[in-house]
Amino acid sequence: YSLLESTLMEICDKVRSDLEFQFSVNDFANRDNLSKVCIFLEKLIDVRINRDQKGWNRREDFRHLRNIIVHQNARFIKEIPEKDLFFLKRLKGIQLNRIELKFYIMDPNLIFSFLELIGTFLQDIFDQIDCKEVKLMEVSLKSSTVINDDFPF
C-alpha cells in the first residue's frame, strides 16, 4: 500500500512540475495521501478516479492492513481490538494467533489480489494522464504561431 501511495505522489509531483502548478498534493488538507492524490488528480487535471464500491473498499482494506502492520508490527498489546479482530477475520488468508496477539498472512493470493488491484487502478490513471498529455500537446501545437524548421519555404 505504501508503494501505491508513493507512486501516486510521484505522479502528482510530475504533473505539478510539467504543468508548472504552484501547489502540490500536500497543500490539500486530508487525512491520508490517497485522498489527497485523488483530489489533486480529479480537481486539477480532470482524471476520474474509479471508486466502484468493491474495488475502493478493497483498497481501504489494504490500507487498514498496512497500518496495522506498520504501526503495530502486526502485533497487538494486551488484546486485539474488536474492530481489528472483525476486520482480520474477514480477510481471507490471515491467520490470527490470539496467544501471541499477532497475525500472519498465510495465503499469497491475498497479496496477489492486492497487486492486481493496484495494477488496474494505476493503469487506469496512467491511461487518462497519457490521453490528457496528448490533448495538451495538440493544444500547444495548434496555438503555436512560430514554426522552427529547416525548410526554406
> What CA–CA distance (Å, rounded) separates 107 from 92?
8
Range list of H helices, 19-143: 33-45, 53-72, 82-90, 108-143
Q: What would you report as the CA-atom Rg of the chain, rounded to the nearest whole angstrom?
A: 21
In this predicted structure, the answer to whether residue 132 has a pLDDT above a threshold of 60 is: yes
If one counts every other C-beta atom within 10 angstroms of the C-beta of residue 103, the result is 24
Q: What is the tens place of the pLDDT at every residue in 35-54?
A: 888 888 888 888 888 777 67
| pLDDT for residue 152 | 43
Q: What is the tens place of the pLDDT at every residue in 51-85?
A: 776 777 888 888 888 888 877 777 787 888 888 88
Residue given cell 483530489 in the structure block: 39
Q: Which of 43, 49, 45, 46 is nearest to 28 (CA)?
A: 43
According to DSSP, the residues that pair with 75 across neighbouring strands are: 102
pLDDT grade for 18, boundaries at 50, 70 and 90: confident
Residue-wise burial string across 33-62, b where 16 or more C-beta atoms lie within 10 A, e elsewhere:
bbebbbbbbeebbebeeeeeeeeeeebebb
Q: Which of 122, 107, 129 is nearest to 15 (CA)?
A: 129
| pLDDT for residue 109 | 92
| pLDDT for residue 135 | 55
Single pTM value for the model: 0.69
